[in-house]
Amino acid sequence: MKLISTNICKTSDIGVNDNLFGGRMLSWLDEAGGIMASQVCKSTNVITLKIDEVLFLRPVKVKEQIRIYGKLDRIGNTSISLHLEARRNCVEENTEAVVCSTKMIFVHIGEDGRPKKIKIS
Ligand SMILES: CC(C)(COP(=O)(O)OP(=O)(O)OC[C@H]1O[C@@H](n2cnc3c(N)ncnc32)[C@H](O)[C@@H]1OP(=O)(O)O)[C@@H](O)C(=O)NCCC(=O)NCCS
């Protein structure tokens, strides 16, 4: 899988149980997926169509660094499917553990907001 982005869990990201708020994680995944989708489509005009089942496997605490990795599953005519993983990076030991995973679909759109064919060179 390819590293897309790294986020740090701040106190402002914490929910009601001293863990990272799930909505924040979804935002990080959506942003990272959008970055990867735009690189594949060679266009910033990509839009989130679908987020599959999201598994929050382990809690994330303040100060932990979360790396978002992506893998291209499929390129269609106008859409692409990605597998995304969020991994906690232990900087002291340089180890990683998956904390969250999902699959997402992004659609390449034209200026009119309608699906547009992805050009692959
Ligand atoms: C994304 C959007 C432009 C697609 O419009 P649409 O009329 O469904 O487009 P189409 O039916 O032509 O489908 C476009 C692509 O999505 C795929 N698709 C559509 N519905 C799908 C579904 N339920 N599951 C998987 N793929 C789907 C189609 O197969 C097609 O891919 P392909 O060209 O690679 O085969 C439209 O749904 C939209 O604007 N949604 C809002 C997106 C948004 O605002 N996202 C931000 C988060 S709120």
Give the chain's domains with CATH numbers: 2-108 (3.10.129.10)
Q: What is the pLDDT of residue 117?
A: 98
| Angstrom distance (rounded) from CA 38 to CA 97 | 27
What is the per-residue pLDDT across 6-65, written as a single tens digit (0 to 9) for each? 999 999 999 999 999 999 999 999 999 999 999 999 999 999 999 999 999 999 999 999
Distance 4 CA to ligand 1 centre (A): 23
The answer to whether 99 and 34 are in contact (CB under 8 A) is: no
Q: What is the pLDDT of residue 26?
A: 98
Pocket of ligand 1 (CB under 6 A): 47-50, 76-79, 105, 107, 109, 115
With a cut of 80, say whether residue 121 has pLDDT above it: no
The residue nearest atom 1 of ligand 1, judged by CA position, is 49
Distance 15 CA to ligand 1 centre (A): 31
Q: Please tell me the pTM assigned to this model.
A: 0.96
The answer to whether 68 and 111 are in contact (CB under 8 A) is: no
Q: What is the pLDDT of residue 120?
A: 81
The answer to whether 45 and 113 are in contact (CB under 8 A) is: no
Bridge-partner residues for 109, per DSSP?
Answer: 115
65 three-state secondary structure? strand
Distance 107 CA to ligand 1 centre (A): 6
| Angstrom distance (rounded) from CA 23 to CA 27 | 6
The answer to whether 52 and 104 are in contact (CB under 8 A) is: yes
Distance 78 CA to ligand 1 centre (A): 8
75 CA closest ligand 1 atom index = 34
